[in-house]
Amino acid sequence: MVDKDLLVGVVVPLFYRLPRANTLDDVSKGVFIAERAQSNLYDFDKIGTKLVGSDANENKTVQFLLSELALIQANVFKDYFDMEIDRQIVSGSYVKAGALFQYQAVQNIVIKVTPKNCTSEDYLLVNTHFDSKPATPSAGDAGHMVVSVLEVLRVITASREKFKHTIIFLLNGAEENSLQASHGFITQHKWAPNCKVLINLDAAGSGSREILFQTGPNNPWLLDYYKNHAKHPFATTMAEEIFQTGIIPSDTDYRIFVAYGNLVGLDLGQCVNGYVYHTKYDSYDIIPRAAIQNTGDNLLSLVKALANAPELHDTTVEGKTVFFDVLGLFLVRYSESNGIILNYAVAGVVIILVYISLLRMAVKSNVTFKKILIWFIPIIIVQVVAFVLGLALPILVAYMFDQHGLTMTYFSTPALSLGLYVCPSLVGLALPSFVYLKMQNYKNLTYAQQLQMALHGHAIILSVLCVALNFYGLRTTYIITWTLVFYVIPLFLNLLTSLHDRGFSWIGVLKIFQVVPFLYNSYLFYTFIVILTPMMGRFGQNTNPDLIISALVAMGTILSLGFVILLVNKSHRSGFIIVSLMAISAVTIYIASSTQIGFPYRPRTNVERVYYLHVRRIFYEFSGSVSKDESGYLFNFQDRRSYAPLVEANVNLTGIVSLESDCAKYMLCGMPIPDSRYMNNRLNGMWLPRNTPVETVPEKPLELLNRTVINNGNTLLIEVKIFFTDHSSLFIQPEEDVTITKWSLEESYLTTSPPYYIYFSSGVDSSPVILTLEVQKPGNDFNEAVVQIGVARQFMNSTGDSIAQDFAKTFPDFAVLIEWPADYHRYKF
């Protein structure tokens, strides 16, 4: 009960705590004014969806930003700063994750703030983006960050502070197209070579604190600046290590700046309420002014500090860092090397103090130390079983739910996790020692000493785990280390004061110190439950998200309550407590599996994402004849439940089939795959045929310009003109015995294995693209098809024809639709 009170009364309020929002009355103080930024966000939100290539993104949003920047520029303290504004229109290409990303005339708005008499040629770069995914006003991702940058720019340029370095503020207009505009800036802009340190701002949620989830790489001094200057710290090494595994279905411009600009920096992002991320519900009205103030306070302080940092002159690689905030109150950081030493040292001290404790037990109980060790070995085994059960029982519940098609029952009711996963974990931790201690009757050894040995067994297991993870190189090992620290301290004090030898007297000191790991570990794992639970709605069909959440909850339970739960064995009601935990689990399992409470989705707040395209696909043969012309809906279901909830809601999906057979027959499934997410999930794609052709545009996307044999008959030159839309894909596959030796695309991508996937987007210029291919074939027989070319055009700004609109109306209100028309033309040349 006390632990519950601490969670509800301390941990949760501190997690959601936000600062007082400054108003226009505070302007004279030279602080970040959230009221002013919020007013900008209202205007930003009103523009609506900001797709690359759309009028909203390329004109309305750009003009809005330039207008605000002009007002800021008019009020610059010219005795202290020079401010330049550059509108960059840029084209380029790069290879990422097995695909070629090509962009044409996307936009960046770049602001250069140069302090008067500045001699430094090293710049600080602050980046965020203003474009959006389809069907979202993008107030959180990343309007929140855009208006925060504007306000920081206002405050700095209207101040009389002096800075050593120039500051570049980059508002990029094509991040959602796989980070294209940032690539255009860092590889081609005139100011890019001078940028040395980055503050990147993005979002995978909306309306709360921003978390620092990447830093460096390998520059510990950056954490010193964050620690000393971020007014509201929210950061952990665990977030960085999880994100860098690649399992999180998101990415940021930080990747581009590090890879192509060799920059170092801080990557911060909104992370709470990820349910609205990339949906129409990511709107102005869900972002409290205080959340903008939180971001602004941190950003303004960091920009000021880093703009004076001598380290910009030499961002030398020094190593990695262990870092974490404590309940949002302050930040702890130390080097990875010191962390390794600390981890080993604490594990070693645990073993030494447990040894001393067992030695004291032998002396006080008049038994040999050898016998004490003999008694301790089975207790360790029991605690190993307890640890395994504490982790395995929640995972078993998750597995069974998945087997019965009941995944994600906690998605809209996270409190179900307490009964589904926390209680089974506690039962697993407590039951083995409860049974064992009741069965044993050690002569001359008191029950208090036996219970102490059980706690020692748990500490030994954590120590072994600490050593193993430390050896593996996981910086997140710090969580176990600091959990052990607050077992080591009371054990040391009890040994020092002789409380250790007086019955249950040692329990009081232990309980006091266990408050600290409970508060921190419950705060940390609560953070990741809040962040990751919404992401389970877009993890795809191949992953059981319940296994991830249950394992996370189980580890949080073990580290938060692993020592405390063993103390129930002191109570005469220990059996009742364990049975009560089992009963809570049973009731929760029933509620989650048999009532509407366990249904994952809710309108507006916890939606099911339904991605699909209205597709018309036409296959042209070498002769020019059409071998296939069909229409349908191409679905890319985002979560484990797939389309089952839609069928239960009476959406007519009769005839829907897997795309797997088409993927085996046709080049990259013969579908207008719009992005890398669809590409990676294409084998799970679903196709719902439609009798009436989908209406797109009548014009063909490709025109053959030239098909000529060159180089004395050894090479065939193919030249085509492609009329892309602002979001398109190109697919190229040579026939089995054909080699493409040269093309007009990115040369490095040609070295990868076909088929080739090219993602194309355009901003303010949608001119057609000329593609040339040079191919060779044994025997030089070019009188037959040598290569397949597929052109997929997306019409993201269209609502589709009347049939598609009527179909969309049949979906339930808990489903948020992300859909648009697309066509696919496959040619053989």
pLDDT tens digit string along 216-269?
898 999 999 999 999 999 999 999 999 988 888 889 999 999 999 999 999 999
Q: List domains and CATH numbers for the chain.
A: 18-327 (3.40.630.10), 337-598 (no CATH), 608-828 (no CATH)
Note the pLDDT of residue 130: 98
Note the pLDDT of residue 5: 79
Please state, rounded to an integer, the average pLDDT across all residues of the chain. 96
Residue 788's pLDDT band, with cuts at 50, 70 and 90, is: very high
**pLDDT tens-digit readout, 535-555:** 999 999 999 999 999 999 999
CB of 167 within 8 A of CB of 113? yes
Q: Which amino acid is at 466?
A: C
Residue 317's pLDDT band, with cuts at 50, 70 and 90, is: confident
**pLDDT tens-digit readout, 564-619:** 999 999 988 999 999 999 999 999 999 999 999 999 999 999 999 999 999 999 99
Average pLDDT (170-196) is 97
374: left (phi over 0), alpha (psi -120 to 50) or beta: alpha
DSSP letters, 316-336, are -----EEEEEETTTEEEEEEH
CA-CA distance, 647 to 815, in Å (whole number)? 12
CA-CA distance, 561 to 416, in Å (whole number)? 18
CA-CA distance, 706 to 723, in Å (whole number)? 16
On the question of pLDDT at 322 being above 90, the answer is: yes
Note the pLDDT of residue 134: 96
Residue 1's pLDDT band, with cuts at 50, 70 and 90, is: low
Note the pLDDT of residue 318: 83
Note the pLDDT of residue 80: 96
Note the pLDDT of residue 553: 98
**pLDDT tens-digit readout, 42-60:** 999 999 999 999 999 999 9
| pLDDT cut 70: percent of the chain above it | 100
Note the pLDDT of residue 704: 97
CA-CA distance, 324 to 326, in Å (whole number)? 7
On the question of pLDDT at 334 being above 70, the answer is: yes
Name which of 113-122, 273-282, 432-441, 516-525 the model is least confident about.
432-441
Residue 680's pLDDT band, with cuts at 50, 70 and 90, is: confident
Note the pLDDT of residue 594: 96
**pLDDT tens-digit readout, 777-787:** 999 999 999 99
Note the pLDDT of residue 2: 61
Name which of 15-24, 400-409, 438-447, 765-774 the model is least confident about.
438-447
On the question of pLDDT at 432 being above 60, the answer is: yes
Structure tokens at 589: 């399992």
**Which helix (H) or strand (E) element contains residue 593?**
helix 574-594
On the question of pLDDT at 489 being above 80, the answer is: yes
**pLDDT tens-digit readout, 615-655:** 999 999 999 999 999 999 999 999 999 999 999 999 999 99
Residue 677's pLDDT band, with cuts at 50, 70 and 90, is: confident
Question: CA nearest 49: which of 757, 798, 617, 700?
Answer: 798
221: number of Cβ within 10 Å: 17
Which residues have CB under 8 Å from 373's CB, separation 6+? 358
Note the pLDDT of residue 249: 83
**pLDDT tens-digit readout, 132-161:** 999 999 999 999 999 999 999 999 999 999
| Cα diameter, the chain | 100
**Sign of the four-CA dihedral 185, 186, 188, 189:** positive
On the 0-12 / 13-18 / 19+ scale of CB atoms within 10 A, 553 is buried
CB of 219 within 8 A of CB of 318? yes
Sole residue written with tokens 């998200």: 545
Note the pLDDT of residue 578: 96
On the 0-12 / 13-18 / 19+ scale of CB atoms within 10 A, 27 is middle
- What φ, ψ does residue 704 adopt, rounded to 5°? -75, 120
